[in-house]
Structure 1
Amino acid sequence: MTTLDTDARPAVTTSTLDLVGVSRWYGNVVAVNDVTMQLSSGVTGLLGPNGAGKTTLLHMMAGFLAPSRGTLTLDGESTWRNPGVYRRLGLVSEREAVHSFLTAKEFVLASAKLHRLPDPEAAARRAIELVEMTDAQDRRIGTYSKGMRQRTRVAAALVHDPQVLLLDEPFNGMDPRQRLHMMGLLHSLGDAGRTILFSSHILEEVEQVSGTVQVMVAGRLAASGDFRTIRRLMTNRPHVFAVRSTDDRALAVALMADPSVTGVELDKTGLTVRAGDYGAFTRALPKIALARQIRVRQLTPEDESLESVFSYLVEA
């Protein structure tokens, strides 16, 4: 797997995207509503169903759209009508804008020249290597699969070594091997100090690439931060645990008497416990088991996945 060679490059100066009360509307339609967030080094997933406002938000971050209200800045500078920010920012939009008659090398080299890089040939070669397109770089883009076109577009966005990379549904069309490589590349870029934001409506993609999420629902920012922490703050939702022990039946009886437990189900595989208070239950369980000389063999949160968090937020 190709990874970012951070030793061969100068240290990255961290860039920060700040959004304060950002809204965008089209006539009477509100696409983004009062969003406040701050993005700095590392990889963040922008999650939401189709139509949640993710693309509009990314386009405002990239300076393609002006906020109807609020402020959006990159290192203190507005991105709107400010071409200078593109020295620090790269974008891979959801809509493909690739000339099929060009080769990948020609396309990425054109991007390097537009950025007026001192050695565009070397920059293009390095970017193409990063996305593992070297072997196919002299073929016309029109002969590529969708996944190959995506990787070519990522190379063009990386050619000037930006501090901030915005990607709208970057894994579309990629096969499993290509997805794993792209995930590894994003991790490398984030670990090197770059600010990476990628949007997706596929929960698995976000969960594998980033624990930090910004969740958009109907144009609003519904949640922000580590998705496991977000789940534990949802006190109105019972927490579900799978518990296995040396005496499941006796443990079930004892747990039902604890005030943190709202329900217990017993079957041949063990216990399913619903708790109203995550912390209170995880503190009470060892004490209850020890008092009854029961050994707990397994304790697994069953609904701390990003899928659970997302479904709860969408239902809210």
Structure 2
Amino acid sequence: MTDLVLAGVSRWYGNVVAVNDVSMVLSPGITGLLGPNGAGKSTLLSMMAGLLPPSAGSVTLGDRPVRERVSVYRDIGLVPVQEQLYDFLTGRQLVRLSADLQQVSDPAAATERAIELVDLADAAGRKVHTYSKGMRQRIKVASALVHDPQVLLLDEPFNGMDPIQRRQMMNLLTDLGQRGRTIVFSSHILEEVEQLARRVEVVVAGRHAASGDFAEIRRLMTDRPNQYRLRSSDNRRLAALLLADPSVRGARLRDRHTLEVETDDLGRFAHSVPRIARAHDIRLLELTPTDESLESVFSYLVNA
């Protein structure tokens, strides 16, 4: 298994800097590439695929530069965000074209396998211009998978897919990741990233803002208080007791069933809550972090 490595990668267009000194290591499994619109995600994916040369830095797969290396291109599949396809071809012809370009040993069989993977066998004989947006996305994925690449790069792959198609695609990508493929996908829908990838690479304004499991990223944000939702047999009394503890910044009753607490010292708080509840005969019914979701982490990073 080989890592895809970006080392000090920058890309600029005249005086406009699209990506600035980004370094990351992308390993087998599924990684979500996350960032607001215009953050540089598509530029990064194009450089990872070898379509766009970095203005500075390097992109390598193992010890091989990805740019202008035919042998490396055969290990990479790209699903671009652009809608431009050879609309006059059928879906089967489009995937077969990719198989031929990649010099697959049995292009006919590889074409049918790739089409089956994206569940488009029934529509494979139709012209691409008759496809819905979701079907066009799926035929692009089939074209990227036809040569069985080690690395699969997808730019907004779920655009236009209905909920059933989206779930099928998520299952396919999960299976590929579990079988050792390196999957990198961008999405502006945080729920999709959270469902599919625990590991994220966050890009903000062309810079690499964070990397890793998003819950771990949140725990490293020590300048921001951690937020919890509590339910107990006596929320009002528990709130008063917790406010006397040095680890608690604030507490408020959201309603008669729920208590919201902010803490500056997660370690101390984790020990204090059960100790205080036990000492005062209060039953804890729920203790749940409310800002370890990807949405919370992303919001903190973008608005930092």
Contact 2:5–2:24 (8 Å) recurs in 1: yes
What CA distance in whole angstroms lies between the structure 1 residues aligned with 2:73 and 2:298? 33
- What is the DSSP-based 3-state SS (H/G/I as helix, E as strand, rest coil) of the residue aligned with 1:99? coil
Q: Percent identity?
A: 62
Equivalent in the alignment of 2:136? 149
What CA distance in whole angstroms lies between the structure 2 residues aligned with 1:246 and 1:238? 25
What CA distance in whole angstroms lies between the structure 2 residues aligned with 1:278 and 1:46? 28
Runs ≥4 in structure 1, deviation > 3 angstroms?
none
* Offset, 1:162: 0.3
Equivalent in the alignment of 1:178? 165
Q: 1:300 aligns with which of 288, 292, 295?
A: 288
What CA distance in whole angstroms lies between the structure 2 residues aligned with 1:276 and 1:34? 32
Gaps of 5+ in 2: none
* Offset, 1:105: 0.8
Equivalent in the alignment of 1:285? 273
Q: 1:242 aligns with which of 200, 219, 229?
A: 229
Letter of the 2:178 counterpart: D
Contact 1:15–1:164 (8 Å) recurs in 2: no
How many residue pairs get aligned? The number is 303
TM-score, length basis structure 1: 0.94
Residue 258 of structure 2 is aligned to residue 270 of structure 1: yes
Gaps of 5+ in 1: 1-13
Cα RMSD after superposing both structures: 0.9
Equivalent in the alignment of 2:10? 23
Contact 1:109–1:124 (8 Å) recurs in 2: yes
Contact 1:15–1:194 (8 Å) recurs in 2: no
Q: 1:82 aligns with which of 48, 69, 83?
A: 69
Equivalent in the alignment of 1:5? none
What CA distance in whole angstroms lies between the structure 2 residues aligned with 1:283 and 1:159? 53
Q: Residues 204-283 of structure 1 correspond to what in structure 2 (within 5 A)?
A: 204-266=191-253, 267-283=255-271
What CA distance in whole angstroms lies between the structure 1 residues aligned with 2:228 and 2:52? 45
What CA distance in whole angstroms lies between the structure 2 residues aligned with 1:67 and 1:114? 25
What CA distance in whole angstroms lies between the structure 1 residues aligned with 2:118 and 2:87? 19
Q: Residues 51-130 of structure 1 correspond to what in structure 2 (within 5 A)?
A: 51-130=38-117
Letter of the 1:97 counterpart: Q
What CA distance in whole angstroms lies between the structure 2 residues aligned with 1:251 and 1:132? 54
- What is the DSSP-based 3-state SS (H/G/I as helix, E as strand, rest coil) of the residue aligned with 2:37? coil
What CA distance in whole angstroms lies between the structure 2 residues aligned with 1:44 and 1:191? 12
* Offset, 1:114: 1.2
Equivalent in the alignment of 1:309? 297
* Offset, 1:138: 0.7
What CA distance in whole angstroms lies between the structure 1 residues aligned with 2:31 and 2:109? 29
* Offset, 1:97: 2.9
* Offset, 1:50: 0.7
What CA distance in whole angstroms lies between the structure 1 residues aligned with 2:232 and 2:257? 10
What CA distance in whole angstroms lies between the structure 1 residues aligned with 2:84 and 2:73? 17
TM-score, length basis structure 2: 0.98
Contact 2:235–2:257 (8 Å) recurs in 1: no
Contact 1:203–1:306 (8 Å) recurs in 2: yes
Equivalent in the alignment of 1:9? none
* Offset, 1:239: 1.1
